[in-house]
Structure 1
Amino acid sequence: MASTGDTVENLPVEEARGGVTEIEQGARDSTDEMRHYLSSNFASLRDEIHKEITSRDVMLQKLEESVTRLSEDIAPVKDYVTAEMEEEDDDSSSSSSGSPEDSAPQDGDQETEEERNNRALNRCVDVMMSLTEIRKNNEEKTKIVRGFYEKIYEASPLTSLMLTFLERNRGVKVLVDCDSSYIHNLVKRLVSLDGAKCTGTFFRTFADFFECKVYLGGKAGKYSLWEGDKTVYKNHDPEVSLAQSLAQMVIHLIFKTRGCPYACNDEMHEKLYEKIEQEELQKKNTSGVCMDDLIKDALSMKTPLGREVSLISVVPAMLVKYGSKKGMSILQREIPFLTFFFMQRVIPKMRN
């Protein structure tokens, strides 16, 4: 492996205090409400599948029925989440003039909600920076990389929860090259999710599950690629790529299945997720279907493993790319089943 340069100095980190932050509580409340709303249907479906599955053919039939039922449930969930996002925006706009009576005291003064959130953000980002190595580091590069983590944390309660999970586990190493959009200066050779041996010049980011390392080409800019019969130009936003790779690593740490969002012995959710992935792949191959580049890129992976790992990590990446409200709206419009699966399976595990 190539040298990764200087290491970011470990920053002093404030110890986590009792209770949870407002942002964590917001993520917890949102997912609890959604799970409560859909729990009876989902639980009965799970019990029905367990009782009636006797062969692979029967299982696939039941999974098709489950996707149909989820489709019927998505519409009210979409309305609920939209209302929650609007309420969140209203709360943010009024936080500066809100009453501090529920704030925690600090050094004899009342700490406002905004101050608590900023303190939680800074604590989390400090930890992530202590886990990060920047090639040929300097003050400017440190500021740039810190900005990546701040954007991810502030994008959505779900993405802040993802970083909080990494803050508490502290088992991941992040390596960043701010001088390139690719990772070839950080690592020479890799095996892709599709099983192909590649050099670092093929990747702008990569999550190495075996080494528990995330590599990132931290230089933003445009790049070109060949799609069909034409050249297409796209933007490389390092914070979006970093969010996607960190999400893959978090899911790997939770489920221990190389980035797939189900446990190795959870056959029901494995088959359900495979069915969702196949539904999205069919939509991608249907002419006239609108689909974001992040989703298309994930579905363009050549193997089922590559598609499954890439696709589930699109959810936090989209929230960082577009922001909480717009990102969730696009997710529910373009990949509603996947979004529901992420809320039901991944978010509760991150919280725990």
Structure 2
Amino acid sequence: MASTGDTVQNLPVEEAVARGGVTEIEKGARDSTDELRHYQSSDFASLRDEIHKEITSRDVLLRKLEESVTRLSEDIAPVKDYVMAEMEEEDDDASSSSSDTPEDGAPQDGDQETEEERNIRALNRCVDVMMSLTEIRENNEEKTKKVRGFYEKIYKASPLTSLMLKFLERNGGVKVIIDCDSKDISNLVRGLANLDGEKCAGTTLHKFADFFECKVYLGGEAGKYQVWEGLKWVDKYHDPEASLSQSLAQMVMYLIFKNRGFPYKCDDDQCEKLYEKIAQEALQKMTSGAYMDYLINDALSMKTPLGREVSLISVVPGMLVKHGSQGGMRTLQEQVPFLTYFFMQHVIPKMRSIIN
């Protein structure tokens, strides 16, 4: 410690502090800090604005989709009316000569029953065509009746699924091959490459839509089976009617859009981006732990975007066949509302326009 008589030499910083001033070093440091704060502030503001813009645009899209989903019940009505109108138009000639109609054209009490009969004739005509396109392994009367029941259930499930069968009825060329004695397709094909591009034995596939050969394969026996998932065996259930509707839906997508099974045309960038976003949202929801029906879960569990997106669109008819029109639509709205909206607003109009 310096004595009283010693001369103490203060450093420039100490002298400035003693006088209450600011040194050049300190002033430069403060200037640099201010510049850094200004830079960070302006940079953050720019980033914040960019994120806000992205979130806002995303929220606008989602809000519009949510608003549209709430109107799904209203959207279904025109489709149903369209299907009914088509049925009535096709049976116009037959109904005009029907014995149920009197010569003077006066209405009878049996009009409602006559309408039901027309609907049944339309169903039978469509199912007859689908049966003519179907090959049943080691066929017999019992198996024929069983497969016919598959098509009847799909047709009756919903106006959307009946419209899908009517599309195939009028646009022949698809061949359906079914093994009623097995849950898988191992007796129909030895091996195939799935939508992920992986080579699979027939024993691992319960359904398959071969776009290049325009063939649909199905294991027609319902029941439980096991798959190895997450280091353990998991029990699953094979519903042949739902599986058949999914494979037929994939074939319809291929025939309509001619884009490897994607539910949009090759040059439709807007629909492509929208559908990719819908698939990503559904995948994020599943990976976050939200419960998903196994049909949705299986589609989203595909490893590639091609596999997921081609499989996912077929979930809509699959759910309607599995749970019925009301139950299936309710589950779809709860778990994948945007996918449902896309199917209603984009796929259905395309089918209708081609049928027309």
TM over 0.5: yes
* 1:24-35 matches, cutoff 5 A: none
* 1:1-352 matches, cutoff 5 A: 64=58, 67-74=61-68, 76-78=70-72, 80=74, 104-110=95-101, 112-287=114-289, 289-352=290-353
What code does the residue aligned with 1:322 have? H
The whole-number CA distance in structure 2 between the counterparts of 1:207 and 1:62 is: 40
* CA distance 1:133–1:72, shift in 2 (3 Å): closer
Give the C-alpha shift of residue 237 in structure 1: 1.1
Contact 1:300 / 1:307 at 8 angstroms: preserved in 2? yes
> What TM-score do you get using the length of structure 1 for normalisation?
0.74
State the partner residue of 2:40. none
The whole-number CA distance in structure 2 between the counterparts of 1:169 and 1:311 is: 23
Give the C-alpha shift of residue 63 in structure 1: 7.3
Contact 1:220 / 1:238 at 8 angstroms: preserved in 2? yes
State the partner residue of 2:20. none
The whole-number CA distance in structure 2 between the counterparts of 1:326 and 1:227 is: 28
Contact 1:240 / 1:318 at 8 angstroms: preserved in 2? yes
State the partner residue of 2:31. none
Q: What's the RMSD between the two structures over aligned residues?
A: 2.5
Give the match's secondary structure for 2:149: helix
What code does the residue aligned with 1:346 have? V
Contact 1:67 / 1:337 at 8 angstroms: preserved in 2? no
Contact 1:63 / 1:275 at 8 angstroms: preserved in 2? no
Give the C-alpha shift of residue 76 in structure 1: 3.1
Does 115-124 or 104-113 show the bigger shift?
104-113
> What TM-score do you get using the length of structure 2 for normalisation?
0.73
* CA distance 1:79–1:148, shift in 2 (3 Å): closer
Give the match's secondary structure for 1:345: helix
Contact 1:135 / 1:177 at 8 angstroms: preserved in 2? yes
What code does the residue aligned with 1:284 have? M
* CA distance 1:75–1:320, shift in 2 (3 Å): closer
Give the match's secondary structure for 1:109: coil
Contact 1:177 / 1:183 at 8 angstroms: preserved in 2? yes
Deviations 1:54-83 (A, max 9, x none): xxx9xx88973563233441353146469x
What code does the residue aligned with 2:216 have? V
Contact 2:136 / 2:143 at 8 angstroms: preserved in 1? yes
* CA distance 1:63–1:256, shift in 2 (3 Å): farther
What code does the residue aligned with 1:279 have? E
* Structure 2 unaligned spans of 5+: 1-50, 85-93, 102-110
Contact 1:63 / 1:272 at 8 angstroms: preserved in 2? no
What code does the residue aligned with 2:99 have? G
Give the match's secondary structure for 1:235: strand
Deviations 1:189-216 (A, max 9, x none): 2111001112211100000000000000
Aligned residue pair count: 279
Give aligned-pair identity as a percent: 65
Give the C-alpha shift of residue 224 in structure 1: 1.6
State the partner residue of 2:104. none
The whole-number CA distance in structure 2 between the counterparts of 1:312 and 1:151 is: 20
Give the C-alpha shift of residue 284 in structure 1: 0.5
Contact 2:158 / 2:325 at 8 angstroms: preserved in 1? yes
What code does the residue aligned with 1:216 have? L
What code does the residue aligned with 2:298 have? D
* Structure 1 unaligned spans of 5+: 1-56, 92-102
Contact 2:241 / 2:321 at 8 angstroms: preserved in 1? yes
